Structure 1
Amino acid sequence: MLLLALDTATPAVTVALHDGSRVLAESRQVDARRHGELLLPAVDRVLAEAGLKLDAVSDIVVGVGPGPYTGLRVGLVTAATFGAALDIPVHGLCSLDGIAHAAGLDEPFVVATDARRKEVYWARYAPAPGDHPQGGRSATRPVRLGEPAVDRPADIADQVAGVPAVGAGALLYDTVFTGVRREGPEHQSAGALAALAAEKLAAGEEFLPARPLYLRRPDAQVPANYKVVTPK
């Protein structure tokens, strides 16, 4: 097994190679405006670091969001292109789940990322007993409680106040996410996403379709009173 994981749902452009037991190479660059420019060089970099070629990859893992449209589609289109070119499966994972997996918390907690427009993408998690494939050591694996959402922080203050929280959204709105863990992950790590995917594959669990999870309606819409003009 050789997993190529990538995610562009947050300002981090992150790529990793995972052999089913450990991360072989990883790249992460935080730049919210250059996802398209940075992603493919990052793929080349991790392959070179691991001393492998793209055709050695057996599975693609991609974060499906939630995330802003422009950045998120870069990762998803790239993942779909690699999957089609190599004729290998493409597995979708909620990007918040990857951050949760990297958090290492053994109590209920929240992951929140910056959704812009003074909103956050967020979800709740709770630990569940499980075994990591690495060495078979006992550990807790976070389980998402319900679907991710997008909200203004003030509207969810009573739900998240005092609850341990990680992610850029929690750091940005720390007067609402008062239990924020500043030492926790801020953005996505493709290494954590790949490790989660490796566990799910080993357990025979299902993945999400590799389709974007936007949670918002598109900004560009056809006007409600749009008038169709036809030639006479």
Structure 2
Amino acid sequence: MLLGIDTSGAVSVAVARGELAAGPASSAGAAPAQSDAASAHTGLDILAVRSDTRSRHHDEVLLALVEETLQAAGVTRGELTGVVVGRGPGPFTGLRVGLVSARSIASVLGVPLHGLSSLDALAHKALAAVPAERGPVTVGVALDARRREVYHARYRREADGEILRIAEPAVDAPAEVATALTACDLLVGSGTALYPELLPATVELEHVDAGHLLLAASALAARGEDLTSTEPMYLREPDAAKPTARKSALGR
């Protein structure tokens, strides 16, 4: 049984039956590949997903949501064999809440902890709704980064179903990446709702679903991707100014 947690934007928790199985080494830039029958292809059975898109106080919501999701899935904490957490990018406080909670749960239970980009998970969710028969498809993901910027990345699903990350995660002003992102067949993420004139959404899909976080992790693990890092993917310095050396009133 796997527990998935993502707090890159909304708070989302999921429970799945199955394990992350190691597979062959993946090529550089590989990202999760799934179709409509995503859970069947990964061997995971998503039992329950619960999300809260309204609260900005992740610390007040997350643990209660974990318990609610476990109860809905009919699973106890003692049955969990692994935890998967979204590494962002996202707001600093929200990411910390998710990562610290995931680490704590994994540590207490003595189970493995895995991490992956929340952008990968959102791309996975967008592509899961596109029939494989459509052939090659590109998707751009843009998440609210505040400061009038967006976190973004681009992906391409090949005809054989493999998904490649064709532009690595970065943070920029919407105008600077609008041309590249709108050239994609699909454009999703919370950034599209904030900047609709520059980044018009093709699908109304703003937040990461922890169920697709688990499916994305399963696909990545099957390709041999290293999911051991659970360091937050901030992409830039915190909003708070760094402390500087004190100066006297005379500036010395």
TM over 0.5: yes
Moved more, 117-126 or 202-211: 202-211
1:115 has 2:145 as partner: yes
Contact 1:32 1:71 in 2 (8 A): no
Mapped to 2, the partners of 1:141 and 1:41 lie a distance apart of: 36
| Equivalent of 1:125 in 155, 169, 179 | 155
Mapped to 2, the partners of 1:160 and 1:151 lie a distance apart of: 12
1:60-71 equivalences under 5 Å are 60-71=83-94
1:212 corresponds to? 232
Q: Deviations over 1:47-81 (max 9, x none)?
A: 11111110111111000000110111000000110
Q: Give the superposed CA RMSD.
A: 1.9
| Equivalent of 1:198 in 201, 215, 218 | 218
1:165 corresponds to? 187
Q: Report SS of the residue matched to 1:200.
A: helix
**What's the offset of the Cα at 1:129?**
5.6
2:6 corresponds to? 7
Q: Deviations over 1:177-218 (max 9, x none)?
A: 24x2134x2101000001112223344432150111111112
Contact 1:113 1:120 in 2 (8 A): yes
In structure 2, runs of 5+ residues without a counterpart are 19-43, 131-135
**What's the offset of the Cα at 1:174?**
2.1
Contact 2:55 2:61 in 1 (8 A): no
2:32 corresponds to? none
**What's the offset of the Cα at 1:113?**
0.7
**What's the offset of the Cα at 1:33?**
1.4
Q: How many pairs are equivalent? A: 214
1:47-196 equivalences under 5 Å are 47-104=70-127, 105=130, 106-128=136-158, 140-163=161-184, 164-178=186-200, 180-183=201-204, 185-196=205-216
| Equivalent of 1:221 in 238, 242, 246 | 242
Q: Report SS of the residue matched to 2:137.
A: coil
Q: Deviations over 1:102-134 (max 9, x none)?
A: 00245112001111111101001111466xxxx
Q: Deviations over 1:76-98 (max 9, x none)?
A: 00011011111111111100111
